[in-house]
Structure 1
């Protein structure tokens, strides 16, 4: 794989973003991947980049923090660099300024992007006294990450923060820890005797900047027999030295010297409330040093309070002092916490974390063609097929299945092996698959309440009450297409009605299969594509919020990277319904979503056994389909007027899928 890493900051300035990029480069090189780093030029680089190519761009120093450089490049310039490298994926490390141009360049080339959220720019703006800028930063971050193919966040808190900003496609990805470098064996009595002879050491490691809140450590002044050690550098150092005259300031440390210093602490403190993760906390734990950290943000996922450290109430400096005093005053507790700390990070190696990252790269590569097939501006994009949660152990033992919807679910144009004038359809086929998966006891019951031309209002007023009376354990809902092709419609409002129907079913303890509507790939349907995409976006939210199983038809792509369900070979001669092949496709995708074993293989076999074509339609499309439809519209009628559902009560389906008899539910 060829991976382009675009970093908002880079060497020679070392911070969490730079450190993560270096670890990723090392792992990718070890696995045989090719890499390119695009970053601001900030000075001479002497560090081993593990064979990565570099493109260093012009930059300017951040006014309040000159060690940090802000890179600038037009999207066209970045696109040229990427085009020459031809990456399979672009990794955006803590994107903000350069990252925005990077995601635009990748979009122009249709290359998937994985944006790694590492810096809480919104909180930083507030700490630097720029509340108006924080609001702008939040909106910018939301736009950027919604544009990325996939966003990785390091902690539960950062996931919630991005969700609150409206970012979708979120995945959890933490940071690894170098357990070969950081460990309790690095503890040095000589270092301790030189720095704080005869005293216990409470230490901090990190940037010395306002957002880190290092000034809060003044609350520890006067603790008997305790020396405060501050490791790091930054724009706040001079002020902190005046505020903390008794502390030892070591400056910036790296490598084995940092590992020795960290392992020689007795307690590690981290007061920052805007940490998306807290890498130095993880390194302290690996060094078997108990941690006292604020109980908000990234530290909450790393520190097990009362097990390997303490989480104090955010902003409560008296609580901070009390937690540190508790540990420095109890040697037995420090030893117990230290042992637990080392165990807690044993599996968090960079190798394991980077393997997970490569899997996310692969997922982004799957998602990108799905995104390219969607209309621009789709509010909530589908997840990758492999990312959809599957039932853990095959299908549930459903025994009563009711299908709701319109003509697609009624089965129009699926006349395969049916008497003249009768139709089969995807839901009938799914019922047979579910009965087959259940076994051969012949007790599977199926009703189909769908009627052609029905709208969401018909679903809500007629079909859902009828379904509830049948007391099913599984209901499918495919509805909305007739609403969306109306002259005026609000897709969000229509989806809200569907949401109410789904909640009624779920509140009754019924499992729901929710299917996103779809269109054929015809020029005439383009005027409706935006509506269908927005409606599908809302259905994804409904499924997330209600626990419904989602059959997202947008995620199944053909060889050209377009939605397979839109392929005209799956559509009937009337141009608005599926032919038998289309109904088979939809039925087996639904079976997969519900966990039917070997559904894909069964679908391939079924397709091979039904190689014959559908019946040839008689007459021209204009006379046969278009004019009758127009005449009904002019008269205010629909094709479903006066019709009843083909299975308004249960039919029994045997274990082999044969329909046995119609029964009435009590």
Structure 2
């Protein structure tokens, strides 16, 4: 999968947004995915992502908080950046300014987007007292997240806030924690002795900014035998040093230094009421440190009152002081809470969160074409689409033209024979299913009328339980083609097949990403919208090949620049398997691509005179009213048996 992450903030400014983006990049790269980070350029201090590609965009620093930068690219430029990368999904990290343009660019390119809500900008606007800013921020957040294919909220409080704004498609996605870095045995007595020898340490970790409400900790500065420790930096530091006499300010700590400091605390406190999640609370829990936090926002889902910490009444500073005293005054309770704290984060790994996020990406890929079709017809988008569930199909028939016939896919085939995506798919469908039968009725140059009058009736007579329909491209490049009329004919075929109880895999025709082909782009787009509608209304499986950016890559096409190469057929086969819900299809596809990058019969063809070898013969046939498929018959007009995994004999399709 190719993943573009549009981040509202990034290195060198380390915060929750940057941290989660870095964690996801590492996870995606380890899983074999390609990444692009699009973020504000911090000038001379700018840093690139440790893996994958990075595109830094012009930005300006916020006057009151220079560490935070706001990018100001045009939407057209951002769209070009995404188009050049060909992403499968756009991840919007804490979107607001740059994220809005990222969403508009994703819509322009018809790409699925996943917006991750990480910053409560509405609460920030209220706290900073900007006149009229909060209603404007609310309206902007609602507008942005309603356009996103999916919105991920980190906590129940965030879900409630977004739901109240009328935002649909909400899913829960928290944050992982590095339990290897943050752990109890990082506790350092020497560090404690340097900070405040012989005293209990009650500490806060985070940005020193107004929205964090660190000044509320003033009620803890006179606790007997307790030293308040403030770890972090920010624009409010000087003011807080005056308001919190006796507190130790360490400045910013990161990495192992932060892990050691956190584990060396006796109690962790966090007074901020506008936290969408609060990663530092989770890191304190992983460090075996009991937590006292406000009973509002993200901490509500993280802290179990009377088990691993306390949630005090928001705004009640007397309650805050009492909860801290409860723990500093009882060594046994503090140890018990600390042990429970560590246990509470055992399953909250970045690895598990990363895999969950990939699942949301796949859901967004399924939803985007349905959203496009719904929007084209003026309908409300559905809240969800259930992931495909593979069935125990026994008889599969493929219908179509040269692409389904497999033209130009000569990988491991005898001279003059072709393999193709449908042949490849049949071998995956056969795995572990005993006797599996497959027929391929596709013939090059065939059109929708051939689907209606020849291929579909023949397929129905064979009583299949799965039929793929990939047809229409030859019609759409013809003079005066009517996409809506063509789609209506296809719809009748699909409904006739579905009436027998058989499943249908409907494939949208793809158009090579080349200048001469662009004159047909509107026709192909209208036709694809109709096929998406048909798939949704008939409860059919959909392989939205037209929306797969990877199929715009030149290496996916054969020397004629029209038909798919072996690599393209292989890619399409695994996307079809994924659409049908075949387990591990994506992982199998990556493995196959690695093993057979250039198979025998798959070497790049020598460059030929394209005009003479391919274009002029096509024009000549058209002028004479002939096609390349005249007189040809389908290669598998009747069922052949594809051996399953445990079969003793191997099919030549394997």
Q: TM-score range by the shorter chain?
A: 0.5 to 0.7
Which residue does 1:98 correspond to in 2?
Answer: 98
Q: Deviations over 1:441-472 (max 9, x none)?
A: xxxxxxxxxxxxxxxxxxxxxxxxxxxxxxxx
Residues of 2 paired with 1:298 and 1:329: CA distance?
A: 27
Secondary structure of the residue that 1:32 maps to in structure 2? coil
Paired residues of 2:168 and 2:383 also in contact (CA < 8 A): no
Which residue does 1:559 correspond to in 2?
Answer: 507
Which residue does 2:300 correspond to in 1?
Answer: 300
Secondary structure of the residue that 1:375 maps to in structure 2? helix
Which residue does 1:158 correspond to in 2?
Answer: 158
**Are 1:78 and 2:26 counterparts?**
no
Paired residues of 2:370 and 2:533 also in contact (CA < 8 A): no
Residues of 2 paired with 1:558 and 1:329: CA distance?
A: 67
Which residue does 1:341 correspond to in 2?
Answer: 341
Q: Deviations over 1:356-398 (max 9, x none)?
A: 011111111111111111126968521342269x9xxxxxxxx
Which residue does 2:354 correspond to in 1?
Answer: 354
Secondary structure of the residue that 2:507 maps to in structure 1? coil
Q: Give the drift of 1:278.
A: 0.5
Closer/same/farther in 2, CA of residues 258 and 567 from structure 1, 3 Å limit = closer
Q: What is the correspondence of 1:52-67 to structure 2 with a 5 Å cutoff? A: 52-67=52-67
Paired residues of 1:203 and 1:268 also in contact (CA < 8 A): yes
Q: What is the correspondence of 1:371-450 to structure 2 with a 5 Å cutoff? A: 371-375=371-375, 380-386=380-386
Secondary structure of the residue that 1:283 maps to in structure 2? helix
Contiguous gaps of at least 5 residues in structure 1: 391-520, 527-555, 571-581, 590-599, 602-666
Residues of 1 paired with 2:148 and 2:276: CA distance?
A: 19
Contiguous gaps of at least 5 residues in structure 2: 390-482, 489-503, 509-527, 543-579, 582-654
Q: Deviations over 1:139-165 (max 9, x none)?
A: 000000001111111001001110001
Q: Deviations over 1:196-236 (max 9, x none)?
A: 10000000000000000000000112110000000011111
Q: What is the correspondence of 1:247-262 to structure 2 with a 5 Å cutoff? A: 247-262=247-262
Q: Deviations over 1:392-446 (max 9, x none)?
A: xxxxxxxxxxxxxxxxxxxxxxxxxxxxxxxxxxxxxxxxxxxxxxxxxxxxxxx
Q: What is the correspondence of 1:502-517 to structure 2 with a 5 Å cutoff? A: none
Which residue does 1:330 correspond to in 2?
Answer: 330
Q: Give the drift of 1:266.
A: 0.2
Which residue does 2:193 correspond to in 1?
Answer: 193
Paired residues of 2:48 and 2:54 also in contact (CA < 8 A): no
Secondary structure of the residue that 1:320 maps to in structure 2? helix
**Are 1:204 and 2:152 counterparts?**
no
Q: Deviations over 1:214-268 (max 9, x none)?
A: 0000011211000000001111111000001210000111000000000000000
Q: Give the drift of 1:45.
A: 6.2
Residues of 1 paired with 2:64 and 2:46: CA distance?
A: 26
Which residue does 2:549 correspond to in 1?
Answer: none
Paired residues of 1:6 and 1:37 also in contact (CA < 8 A): yes
Paired residues of 1:366 and 1:384 also in contact (CA < 8 A): no
Which residue does 2:134 correspond to in 1?
Answer: 134
Q: Give the drift of 1:3.
A: 0.6
Which residue does 1:213 correspond to in 2?
Answer: 213
TM-score (norm 2): 0.61
Q: Higher mean Cα deviation, 130-139 or 308-317?
A: 130-139
Paired residues of 1:75 and 1:104 also in contact (CA < 8 A): yes
Paired residues of 2:376 and 2:529 also in contact (CA < 8 A): no
Residues of 2 paired with 1:59 and 1:264: CA distance?
A: 39
Q: Deviations over 1:97-124 (max 9, x none)?
A: 0111111011111111111000000000
Q: Deviations over 1:81-101 (max 9, x none)?
A: 111111111110000001111
Q: Deviations over 1:603-653 (max 9, x none)?
A: xxxxxxxxxxxxxxxxxxxxxxxxxxxxxxxxxxxxxxxxxxxxxxxxxxx
Paired residues of 1:169 and 1:381 also in contact (CA < 8 A): no
Residues of 2 paired with 1:565 and 1:109: CA distance?
A: 17
Paired residues of 1:112 and 1:149 also in contact (CA < 8 A): yes
Residues of 1 paired with 2:540 and 2:273: CA distance?
A: 50
Secondary structure of the residue that 1:374 maps to in structure 2? helix
Which residue does 2:619 correspond to in 1?
Answer: none
**Are 1:270 and 2:270 counterparts?**
yes
Paired residues of 1:6 and 1:93 also in contact (CA < 8 A): yes
Q: Give the drift of 1:46.
A: 8.1
Paired residues of 1:12 and 1:43 also in contact (CA < 8 A): no
Q: Higher mean Cα deviation, 194-203 or 559-568?
A: 559-568
Q: What is the correspondence of 1:435-514 to structure 2 with a 5 Å cutoff? A: none
Residues of 2 paired with 1:110 and 1:184: CA distance?
A: 47
Residues of 2 paired with 1:366 and 1:154: CA distance?
A: 22
Q: Deviations over 1:265-323 (max 9, x none)?
A: 00000000000000000000000000000001100000000000000000000000000
Which residue does 2:457 correspond to in 1?
Answer: none
Residues of 2 paired with 1:377 and 1:229: CA distance?
A: 59
Residues of 1 paired with 2:319 and 2:13: CA distance?
A: 34
Residues of 1 paired with 2:203 and 2:78: CA distance?
A: 42
Q: Deviations over 1:561-620 (max 9, x none)?
A: 54669659x9xxxxxxxxxxx9xx57999xxxxxxxxxx99xxxxxxxxxxxxxxxxxxx
Q: What is the correspondence of 1:222-261 to structure 2 with a 5 Å cutoff? A: 222-261=222-261
Give the CA RMSD over aligned residues: 2.7
Closer/same/farther in 2, CA of residues 375 and 219 from structure 1, 3 Å limit = same
Secondary structure of the residue that 1:246 maps to in structure 2? coil
Residues of 1 paired with 2:222 and 2:92: CA distance?
A: 45
Paired residues of 2:373 and 2:532 also in contact (CA < 8 A): no
Residues of 1 paired with 2:22 and 2:131: CA distance?
A: 33
Paired residues of 1:26 and 1:49 also in contact (CA < 8 A): no
Closer/same/farther in 2, CA of residues 357 and 44 from structure 1, 3 Å limit = farther
Paired residues of 1:155 and 1:172 also in contact (CA < 8 A): yes
Paired residues of 1:370 and 1:557 also in contact (CA < 8 A): no
Q: Give the drift of 1:43.
A: 4.0
